[in-house]
Amino acid sequence: MTAPTNTQPEDLRNRMVDHIDGAGHLHSASVERALRTVPRHLFVPDASIEDAYANKSITTKPGPPGGRPASCASVPTVVAMMLGQLDARDGHRVLEIGAGTGYNAALLAELVGDTGQVTTIDIHPDVTDQAQHSLDKTGYGRVRVLTGDGALGAPDHAPFDRIIVTVGPWDLPPAWINQLAPGGRLVVPLHWRGQARSVAFVKQDGVLRSVDSQLCGFIPMIGEGQDGEHTGQIANDVAVYFDRDQHIDLDVLHGVLDQPATTVWSGASVVAGESTDLIWPLMTGTELGTCRFAADDAAVEAGLCNPAFTHRSPAIVEGDSLAYLTLRGPDPDATERRWELGAAGHGPAGAQLADRMCDQIRVWDRDRAAQPTITVYPANTPDDAMTDGVVINKHFVRLVITA
């Protein structure tokens, strides 16, 4: 006889929070309290209660056929992680870019209390209408819901102690920096060098400096300055993703994988499920050609390439050569199953690029929690007014990555 399953919203909500805690994304008692309080299922009424509290995103506004959704409820572990980075407190004035379902705004309202203020903005009127309805229904009508271009912020209600962005921008619009109070925090899932990471910035002396970054993925932001990531195929079923300021010629790279590979092994290894994600941002602080290597299963099965992660592996491109992250399986005679990290290089300089990537893997291996510092300056800042590091030029800002 099978015991009945308890599917009461309160029980499912507590299980959701317990899962987030077990996954290592819950470091704040106030965030935990908010997650255990706000009824997520009421913000996604078209989903089942089980799905509402599952650790997955829920599409609430489909995008074009074959494209990404226009709006969704984010994965709960990511929600908790970003709220932890934000560190919103009693009395804070918070701006959220991307209203979604209104659920995140309700969590923010819990965090800032009755003396704080939460403003959420979205460009889609139907999204803000639904968010407003859900917030009113659940007792969070004090949240200010605006319809407009999130890239412009909310100047009539600035300055803000905290700004959180729930879409994935390639660039940082000036309004976000200008409307952030001195000492305030901006948490944004920023794209650079083919990756996306939720970066927590603190505003100091008019510039932003990172204090944390975590792997994430969000619906890309659209609008002025957000089209700076380029992509193109270098072989059947294989593409690279790179930034507009990088000198990467797809025509020169086409066919490079047909050349023999030189594989170099780093000596660093991981167990199943162990993260290697910090290798990528560290590489962006040293290697100008860092980008994303993406291969479909067909290319791997054909023996054309063997990336560590098929659709999302860091790579280095330099002229007519490249190297990408790879790994090899555990020794069947070993007592512990470990996978060694390495780099596969192709082209005339492939071996040298593979060596350099392995150098970066070893740097990561010496301190697997180390993160580069990302400093954000206005686009017109001269080189001699910036800190040392690799400069990434975007439309509105210049990033300096210091490893």
pLDDT of 274 strictly over 70 = yes
In this predicted structure, what is the pLDDT of residue 3?
A: 40
What would the two tokens of residue 29 be? Answer: 């008692």
What is the arithmetic mean of pLDDT over 275-292?
A: 97
The answer to whether domain 9-215 has CATH 3.40.50.150 is: yes
Q: Tokens 């990467």 correspond to what residue?
A: 248
What average pLDDT score do residues 86-109 get?
Answer: 97
Q: Supply the pLDDT for residue 363.
A: 98
Q: Catalytic: 48?
A: no
Q: What is the Cα–Cα distance from 252 to 320, expressed in whole angstroms?
A: 6
* Per-residue pLDDT reduced to its tens digit, 99-135: 999 999 999 999 999 999 999 999 999 999 999 999 9
Condensed to tens digits (0 to 9), the pLDDT of residues 33-84 reads 999 999 999 999 999 999 999 999 887 766 666 666 667 788 999 999 999 9
* The pLDDT value given to residue 67: 60
Mean pLDDT throughout 217-242?
92
pLDDT at 1: 36
pTM comes to 0.93
Average pLDDT, the chain: 94
Instruction: Check pLDDT > 90 for residue 5.
Output: no
Residue from 28, 30, 48, 74 carrying the catalytic annotation: 74
Looking at the predicted structure, is the pLDDT value of residue 2 above 50? no
**Cβ(284)–Cβ(290) under 8 Å?**
yes
Q: Please state the domain extents for the chain.
A: 9-215, 229-366
The predicted pLDDT at position 183 comes to 98
Residue 4's pLDDT band, with cuts at 50, 70 and 90, is very low
Rounded CA-CA distance 274/272 in Å is 6
What lies within 8 Å, CB to CB, of 76 at 6+ separation is: 16, 19, 20, 35, 40, 53, 55
Q: Is the pLDDT of residue 334 over 90?
A: no
Q: What's the distance, Cα to Cα, between the start and end of the chain in Å?
A: 58
